[in-house]
Structure 1
Amino acid sequence: MIEVNWSRTDLIDESQEVVEHQTKNQKEKIADSSGVSIDEFNEGRVKVTKVLVDKNGEEQIGKKEGKYITLSVPTLTVDDNNGFEQLEKAFTKYLDDIHKDIKLTKDSKVLVIGLGNKTITPDAVGPFAIDAMQNEQSENPSDHFVMYAPGVTGQTGFETSDFILALTEKIKPSLVLVIDALATRGSSRLCKTIQITNTGIHPGSGVGNQRTEVSKEVMGVPVTAIGVPTVVDATVIIADAIDSVFRSIAAKIEERGKPSGKLSVTSWTPESNSRVDLSLIKPIFGEWSTWSTNDRLQLFEEAFASHPERLIVTPKEVDVWITKYSILISKCLFNWMEHKIK
């Protein structure tokens, strides 16, 4: 099949090169061959993925040289207080980790930029985080944060990076923090993940609307990007749904005739990470039912290649998710700053 790169993602651990190297031996191989170091582990319910990319790795996976830390709670829901508490704890910890080489004093300024369009909810995590920080600032004043939500180029007519550069030159901060919504290529990652990176960000890149980057090279000071994936391409939803249907049918065929199958009193589907023999449904659906999820996704992307409109999907509770993440990010930034300058 012709390779069509429509599976847009801003998450480092979803880039093809990283996804293809999940075992220990493969991680060691990719580190030796392409300059990418991958470390995955769990801290309670939080899955932590740390990726270090050097100059060789930058050419291999198309991600900038630097450090990427992805925090994910796969079972997180909007009313899961325990999950948000664990994510908040991990986020504060790794904010400190990624900034361990940056010295902040009582006189330091940190410029916090909330990217995105406040009138479009899935894109509003940045501006909402700025609102939450301003509310926190009114109750617990801090001289360290300077906060700004510049809007998007479609609203202002100017490059967002130009606004940020002008502020940086005026304020002369020790650090720029950029908060933005991201795109993911996995529906299970929607609103359940935070990515932190010291490489900066290309506003709008996840949905194909790439603007001038906001980075240390452009701004002249360290730039850290904080992102929450809130949208996914519709073809990913289709591929995930068909994969679930195929796995469910195959699992039920496999269980048929077994005592465990006769004991079931409710509908049952296999867990997403359990092994299912998809060859059992090949007589029903044909050869393509045994393809990998990525191969089926590629098929759908090719089938829709001639369609002028592409759909970007977001959870129906996205307004609640955005509110929760804006408060979480605000709280963690103030706590981290208080700890950092002691």
Structure 2
Amino acid sequence: MSKRNLMRTDLIDEANEVVQHRTKKEKDTLYDTPGIQMNEDRNGRVIITHIETDASGAESIGKKEGTYITLSVPTLTVEDEDGFKQLEQQLISSLNDIHQLLKLSKESTIAVIGLGNKTITPDAIGPLAIDLFHEEMFSLSFEPGKVVFFAPGVTGQTGLETFEFVKAIAEHVKPDLILVIDALAARNQDRLCKTVQITNTGIHPGSGVGNMRNEISFESLGVPVTAIGVPMVVDAPVLVVEAIETVFKVISSQIGETTKASSALSVGSWLRSTDAPINIEAIKPIFGEWTSWSSDEIRALLQEVLPPHHQQLFVTPKETDSWVKRHAELIQSGVLSWLQDDVFSSTSP
């Protein structure tokens, strides 16, 4: 039986080659890597990471060739109206940016597909967004038939591959663009529900949780495919690795503070730090040789010792139902504004 990849993620800025270049010096190295163009910016509270890859760059980071835009609000909460508003405005801007070369117009036809299982909360963003689009059908400003909204369900519900439904729509409607909405998987719990990724490379339904289905992309359909996704789950073993690393950082930081002369002046509780680098030599007498292991090596150990059914566990926030509702509303509102105000507006070509 092949070993499962505990490092799997749908987010390009969590891909190994990108994650491993986080310091300024390392980022400069990544910027100079052939085949990868990376730019990070901030607009208000939204952090925007724009990555362009060609064939060689795509191979080096294990992602498809194309454009990836990730929008993150690290401090986002489920009740954060301002954060969601800023995220929506940036989503509209990013949809314009990523579709510049398509030259969409009032004459274009677009298919909006909501992927996922509506009965499983973390996977329901796509279908719920489509439901919200349907509620607005009679108030849309563009011609009927210019945009098709559809949620195909999942293979376990219908008996057919999701790809077959999308292919049938593509053949019947002949859209100029297919816009796919789906839930994603992350490798870092801090990214859950606080990031939106837009890419013109299409999508592999279910790939984030090891349930690989046929790819929905330009290569498979002959139609440009843009995917909008929100990370809703993270591998449970990844949380174990993060917890181990946090323990190492906290104890390393505490040892560093207590050895300083100034620690004798402390009158309050010690402030823990999880941002400082780990002092391996300080914690090795406590935890042993494996403190010098890399995250990849710790994950490999978990892969060996955890039973297969434990490796299939995924974690999602306890407020998942609220997060899913908010993100479905965010995507529906942002995409609808983009369609009405930019693609099908009276000033469009």
2:47 aligned with 1:43: no
Q: In structure 1, how many angstroms separate the alpha carbons of the residues matched to 2:303 and 2:324?
A: 29
SS in 2 for 1:71: strand
Deviation at 1:134, TM superposition (A): 1.9
1:277 corresponds in structure 2 to 279
Deviation at 1:38, TM superposition (A): 1.8
Structure 2 letter corresponding to 1:8: R
Write out aligned runs for 1:19-30 (5 A): 19-23=19-23, 26=26, 29-30=29-30
Deviation at 1:5, TM superposition (A): 2.7
Which consecutive unaligned segments of at least 5 residues does structure 1 have?
none
Deviation at 1:48, TM superposition (A): 1.4
Q: In structure 2, how many angstroms separate the alpha carbons of the residues matched to 1:261 and 1:79?
A: 42
Q: In structure 2, how many angstroms separate the alpha carbons of the residues matched to 1:54 and 1:14?
A: 18
Q: 1:234 to 1:33 in 2, by over 3 A?
A: same
TM norm structure 2:
0.89
2:210 corresponds in structure 1 to 208
Q: Which 10-residue stretch deviates more, 224-233 or 330-339?
A: 330-339
Q: In structure 2, how many angstroms separate the alpha carbons of the residues matched to 1:327 and 1:217?
A: 30
Alignment deviations for residues 14-44 of structure 1 (CA, whole Å, 9 cap, x no partner): 1112222345665565566541222222222
Structure 2 letter corresponding to 1:12: I
Deviation at 1:77, TM superposition (A): 1.6
Write out aligned runs for 1:282-297 (5 A): 282-297=284-299
Deviation at 1:124, TM superposition (A): 0.6
1:167 corresponds in structure 2 to 169
Contact 2:115 2:182 in 1 (8 A): yes
Deviation at 1:9, TM superposition (A): 0.8
Structure 2 letter corresponding to 1:297: R
Contact 2:3 2:303 in 1 (8 A): no
Deviation at 1:132, TM superposition (A): 1.8
Identity %: 51
Q: In structure 2, how many angstroms separate the alpha carbons of the residues matched to 1:13 and 1:97?
A: 18
1:268 corresponds in structure 2 to 271
1:300 corresponds in structure 2 to 302
SS in 2 for 1:75: coil
2:229 corresponds in structure 1 to 227
Between the two proteins, the alignment pairs up a number of residues equal to 340
SS in 2 for 1:101: helix
Write out aligned runs for 1:302-317 (5 A): 302-304=304-306, 310-317=312-319
TM norm structure 1:
0.91
Q: In structure 2, how many angstroms separate the alpha carbons of the residues matched to 1:127 and 1:261?
A: 59
Which consecutive unaligned segments of at least 5 residues does structure 2 have?
none
Structure 2 letter corresponding to 1:166: A
2:336 corresponds in structure 1 to 334
Structure 2 letter corresponding to 1:86: Q
